[in-house]
Structure 1
């Protein structure tokens, strides 16, 4: 239709009144179809021109967005928003010209509370911003469902962790109980406790108490919310700094470290302390899987708005039947270990909005791959071609 109108306009001086009438009817019909489509959408749609003035809205936008007036034509968008926080966000985003996705606000509306997701996309033509497209979605029900699901998952996870703790503390408690009984028997039999045996019993009980304390500390870390402080950082630099810290221990174990960084990787928002802890846990697992030495290769990359970190070892690998359980609490393939190390890794990566997976084969090593989202302002603008 657009090309038809452009051709008709080029021939306009040659058109008679009847042809012009048909052209106007066609244009009116096209506009009516556009309005029907827009008004049928459940998401709110607002289009502004290059001066941030409203040129198009649909019914859902007028229902969802708190406007101060019903007369929106040619009004500057942020000046007609009846919410200071939303208005400030829109003003800053529009003036910056950046693409923004999934920014959510919780608003009181008609006696109820709604969670709205704002997606703002600059419309670029011939290298300059011609306007902006704002899409507003009501995600209230989705967030409620997600909250219910998280509560159910947290309860299930807490139940699993509690069962794991109960199992883990049995052995140290049993050991402490046995040595207390041995001390009592010595006292009942001889009326006194041999110093050498007494110190031996106390040393063992002290070790078991420390073990219990470690179990409790790991449990609390696994269940407590993490207070992450996300700041933009260079992933390559963070990893290199960590490997410099661990290289001597790895070298002592006969592990050769290979670093393969993609210099084009953009910065990501992360808590350096927690990310290093997650990576260190993976590296220590890799080292334990290579008791006779081997190779540890750390690679970074960038794909589909995700920064990837791959940590590959040449160790003993993990059986296929165990791969699906590796992030579960208290699951471990090692003789000594809390079984919470990779659970903590999983939690840290999820707190960063990322994901983690692994590939492994018995006798061929293991590869952990971490994906972290790139901040929105690092992403490209929406290329809008108005043809």
Structure 2
């Protein structure tokens, strides 16, 4: 009898030990997930926080474990921005019963919030937070490519139908010009020709955005390319009360890129002109608009940046910046940056942007380097 009780006791101890091992195993998995995990029990008390969630909150786990939501919102170590996000998550997932919610943090990263509750949770609320910025970027790139493909089909079907009559109209206006000048209507001719040329420029930009020609590559030193851009834009900058500063000293003269010079120059000129438009009277404390063009070597690539001290852009504008037809300029076509995106991608490079309202904008272009022997 005693031996049976002893065996039963040992079996119970093994079972308890096994359950504890399983529990420790799963807790260890939760601790090391790349997603933030937080668990509120049925009484609304925070019962579990994993390492990643502690990092996201910016406070030690011990300081928040056992807190209610109200106490969490009063925690001195959690920033005001994060507290506002916690309230929003609570409102969307608990109050409105949404099991999935997305938000963007102060650094522009995208997060997916998932709420799990119900009978299987026995009254507990499990919240997971995962960084989905890379997935969003992939999604945005796919969306961008779809738009560019659609743009190509549209442009191929209508470009010639528009350009041919414009060419004819321009020719007839030129023939009629002497008669109109005789009638004192030379100003009308000038305006008509200017508007026809503007329409042709828009069509050219439209065609380029859908399918830029294949790069006709030649070797050019990075510094030489940037110096040419500065020479082409400094007079316009001076007229707008803006200073362009070139900083390419970190890149050796022998460091060259194999690119279609015309296309890459078009991209950089477009970015500099956008910077000039963005400054447009918004100067720093010394009353001067500033554009800084710089280049630096990063491994086997060169990083070209164009920074300005203009008005900057909000997150909505940044999210749509490279989409065809998206523009914040009155009279703009919304094609310049989508063309630039395609050109840089065709050269095996990348183009990105960082901006903040009131703090200016920085565009970053990365292109592969080619070393030229001296």
> TM-score range, shorter-chain basis?
0.3 to 0.5
More RCO (CA 8 Å, sep 6+):
1
**TM-score, reference length from structure 1:** 0.46
